[in-house]
Structure 1
Amino acid sequence: MKVLFIGGTGLISEAVSELAVQLGMELVLLNRGNRTEFVPKGARTIMADIRDPAAAAEALGTERFDVVVDWISFTPEQAETSRKLFQGRTKQFIFISSASVYQKPSTHYWVTESTPLSNPYWQYSRDKIACEQLLLEAYRNDGFPLTIVRPSFTYGVTMIPASLNSWRHPWSLVDRMRKGKPILVHGDGTSLWTMTHNTDFAKGFVGLLGNSQTVGHAFHITSDEVLDWNAIYRAIGAAAGVEPNLVHASSEFICGFDPDAVGGLLGDKVVSCIFDNSKIKRFVPSYVAATPFEQGIQRTIRWFEAHPDKCTIDAAWNDLMDRIIAAQEKAMLL
């Protein structure tokens, strides 16, 4: 099976790329070559920027693929570029959406693929919904061979997952824990969440590749382990060898200081979210998520410790946490 990944070296996709090669697939990565350390041995890279459609078309030449996976379209315009480029060039096109597209505010904690799509808090999610709608229209009207995958919070060795952390400098959270600084958690920390290791996600995902019965369907692929946010932060602390000092503030209070957090909190993590994985298990019967969060996060911490150049600290994020915590403490005294 000849498979093209648009991207293929990101946080989620690098684990899928590795497994696809291990399973003997002919894997081709179309990207700009910025993360070569995550290109698995045996994969071939086509150096091109998908945001330049003419250059991408020239680089692809006359090549055709059994499957094309678009990991990096975030707007309808980008999705339409990919559709035009690969219409008639592949038997299956997998679009990577997001589980954050599911209805917010939530009317039920149990999430299935038929849960309504609506997120008034997060433009990222609304754009993913619009991408899905555009591609589904192409499927219905023109037979575009679309499969949709909606990952939730998926992590690997390069990400320390938390509801509040620096995206570019994720070691900041562990550094803060080890220094004994208070760790901000949204709400009272008891809302429920699901963390999925990228190697587990990969096992479900590769089962969709080349499966013609998945065309026209949407899937989420998550762990069945459910944790509250207090447990998630304590597991990160345990992996780092410390007991974190957790302090709590409402999500609305946090977003008053950090408007960029509105999408990720009010549009995603503020509500309990438990995923029904029966659909992916019907289509990929061998799928099982086997990595408990406490084990997966230990791997992540060890990886960072083995790569000290990645243990960078976000001073601005640290200052923001200190300001929110100080304001919360002051408000509690009034």
Structure 2
Amino acid sequence: MQRICVIGGSRYFGKLLVEGAHAAGHQVTVINRGSTLPPAGVEHLVVDRDDEGALDAALGTRTFDVVVDQVCYTPVQAASAARVFTGRTRRYVMTSTIEVYDPATAALPAVPAGTPVPEENVDPRAWLVDMDLPWHDEAYLEAHYAEGKRQAEAVLARDGSFAFASVRSAHVLGGGAQEFTGRLAHYTERIRRGEEIAVHAKSLPTVFIHYQELAGLLLWAATAADFTGPVNACSDGMLDVRELTAVVAAQTGREPVYRTAAAGGTASPFSFDRHYAMSNTRAKRLGFTFSRIADWLPGAVAETVSASATPVA
């Protein structure tokens, strides 16, 4: 049994992580603002993680084997967490994102088109951190999500108070109505209604992961693995937007209607005119076994179709 603290953990794969850790016999503490209650038997601390004093007071004398931070978006939050959890945990796992590799958001090392990007393309120990940027401004943070994650990783990687690992998640799908991003629902609804889908003239492939698989990987990273540094989390295989919509079309019985987005214009989710698909080689070498996108995507689409109450004419 390990003592696990999950910051966030109130919805989607974070909720599954908490449930899985508890079911595996671990002693789990969840920290969030109280919008959703954790399962019975899981300790719940209701506190805003951005209020450092309140978080420190709420934790009291508690210590943990590992902290899994689901909701760290800025270097300011990361620095606060490092101060609060120094001496309280031996390991810290942060949920990060594929978007740290997005070449549209930073000057990154070039990779040949179609080559999955390895973790070393974004080295948190070498990444520049600027605490003086307006990280508390919601509009700024939304526009600089990828950079916030990169800098948060950098702060925690350099802190040295605990072993630090980051899990860089691919685009997460599955769960039907639970999928709060609504991206898969966007496609199922538009295809069912015969509405246009805006795609780039040359859409490049990217990588995905099922929400249950991501929850399992986070639990593995927290309790069964001892690696440090970043690890990419994505199912085997890559899909471009047309391949994704073909799976949706097969489930709905309707053909997609495409419209080519203007150069520099907005396209539908998962239509990319730039390459940043990740490599999952490091996670495999560390012992994690991934599923294939082709094996779970039809079921994820079926869940989403079933969750929709919109009638089709």
Same fold (TM over 0.5): yes
Report if aligned partners of 1:98, 1:152 keep a CA contact under 8 Å in 2. Answer: yes
Aligned equivalents of 1:111, 1:169: Cα separation in 2: 23
Query: What is the match of residue 237 of structure 2?
Result: 225
Query: What is the match of residue 155 of structure 1?
Result: 173
Aligned 1:291-330 pairs, distance under 5 A: 291-302=295-306, 304-305=307-308, 308=309
Alignment RMSD: 3.0
One-letter amino acid matched to 1:270: D
Identify the match of residue 205 of structure 2 among 192, 210, 229: 192
Aligned equivalents of 1:93, 1:296: Cα separation in 2: 30
C-alpha spacing 1:247/1:185, structure 2 compared with 1 (3 Å)? same
Deviation at 1:211, TM superposition (A): 4.8
- Could you tell me the TM-score, scaled by structure 2's length? 0.79
1:114 lines up with 2:120 in the alignment = yes
Deviation at 1:160, TM superposition (A): 9.1
Deviation at 1:170, TM superposition (A): 6.8
C-alpha spacing 1:254/1:274, structure 2 compared with 1 (3 Å)? closer
Secondary structure (helix, strand or coil) at the match of 2:165 reads: strand
Report if aligned partners of 2:6, 2:70 keep a CA contact under 8 Å in 1. Answer: yes
Identify the match of residue 285 of structure 2 among 266, 282, 286: 282
1:207 lines up with 2:208 in the alignment = no
Superposed CA deviations along residues 154-204 of structure 1, whole A, max 9, x for unmatched, are 12315798xxxx946974543332221212223334x11212101112222
Aligned equivalents of 1:110, 1:2: Cα separation in 2: 35
In structure 2, stretches of 5+ residues that fail to align are 105-109, 128-142
Report if aligned partners of 1:160, 1:171 keep a CA contact under 8 Å in 2. Answer: no
Query: What is the match of residue 125 of structure 1?
Result: 146
C-alpha spacing 1:197/1:167, structure 2 compared with 1 (3 Å)? closer
Identity of aligned residues (%): 23
- Could you tell me the TM-score, scaled by structure 1's length? 0.75
Aligned equivalents of 2:225, 2:250: Cα separation in 1: 43
Query: What is the match of residue 16 of structure 1?
Result: 17
Query: What is the match of residue 93 of structure 1?
Result: 92
One-letter amino acid matched to 2:192: R
Superposed CA deviations along residues 268-296 of structure 1, whole A, max 9, x for unmatched, are 933234332221122234x2225431222
Aligned equivalents of 1:160, 1:9: Cα separation in 2: 11
C-alpha spacing 1:58/1:239, structure 2 compared with 1 (3 Å)? farther
Which stretch shows the higher mean deviation, 94-103 or 237-246?
237-246
Secondary structure (helix, strand or coil) at the match of 1:203 reads: helix
Which stretch shows the higher mean deviation, 101-110 or 275-284?
101-110
Report if aligned partners of 1:11, 1:155 keep a CA contact under 8 Å in 2. Answer: no
One-letter amino acid matched to 1:183: I
Report if aligned partners of 1:208, 1:283 keep a CA contact under 8 Å in 2. Answer: no
Query: What is the match of residue 156 of structure 2?
Result: 135
Aligned 1:243-262 pairs, distance under 5 A: 243-250=255-262, 252-254=264-266
C-alpha spacing 1:241/1:9, structure 2 compared with 1 (3 Å)? farther
C-alpha spacing 1:43/1:132, structure 2 compared with 1 (3 Å)? same
Query: What is the match of residue 327 of structure 1?
Result: none
1:177 lines up with 2:191 in the alignment = yes
Deviation at 1:93, TM superposition (A): 0.7
Superposed CA deviations along residues 227-249 of structure 1, whole A, max 9, x for unmatched, are 12101122233334432212221
Query: What is the match of residue 28 of structure 2?
Result: 27
C-alpha spacing 1:170/1:224, structure 2 compared with 1 (3 Å)? closer
Secondary structure (helix, strand or coil) at the match of 1:220 reads: strand
How many aligned positions are there? 284
In structure 1, stretches of 5+ residues that fail to align are 256-260, 312-334
Report if aligned partners of 1:208, 1:284 keep a CA contact under 8 Å in 2. Answer: no
Aligned equivalents of 1:134, 1:292: Cα separation in 2: 35
Aligned equivalents of 1:131, 1:198: Cα separation in 2: 23
Aligned equivalents of 1:195, 1:103: Cα separation in 2: 15
Query: What is the match of residue 329 of structure 1?
Result: none
C-alpha spacing 1:97/1:289, structure 2 compared with 1 (3 Å)? same
Identify the match of residue 242 of structure 1 among 247, 254, 267: 254
